[in-house]
Amino acid sequence: MNVLLAVDDSMDSKAAEEILKASQRIRADLVVMGSKGLTGLRRILLGSVSHKVVRYAKCSVLVVRQKLLSPIGNEP
């Protein structure tokens, strides 16, 4: 199984294209990537790299959402 682990901290509009190209180049069976969890207006204006990869990838994509840290003592 070929797995592509995509690490991208930028909001670069070409990041999704590069991840998709790399996944095709190595014939990935799975792309694993993180998500910052943007919502609302920020997502509309900035777009989402993970959303684009999920939509256009020719293989399965696993998106892992960043866990928000809660203050000490307030853990569920």
The pLDDT tens digits for 3-56 are: 887 775 556 668 889 999 999 999 999 999 887 766 666 555 546 788 889 899
Distance between CA atoms of residues 22 and 72, nearest Å: 40
Token readout for 30 is: 């799975």
CB distance 1 to 28 below 8 Å = no
CA dihedral in degrees (21, 14, 53, 64; nearest 10)? 120
Say which CATH topology domain 3-65 has: Rossmann fold (3.40.50)
Entry pTM: 0.71
Which of 17 and 75 is assigned the larger pLDDT?
17
- 59-63: average pLDDT: 93
| Domain edges within the chain | 3-65
Q: Give the confidence band of 60 by pLDDT, cuts at 50, 70, 90.
A: very high
pLDDT reported for residue 73 = 57
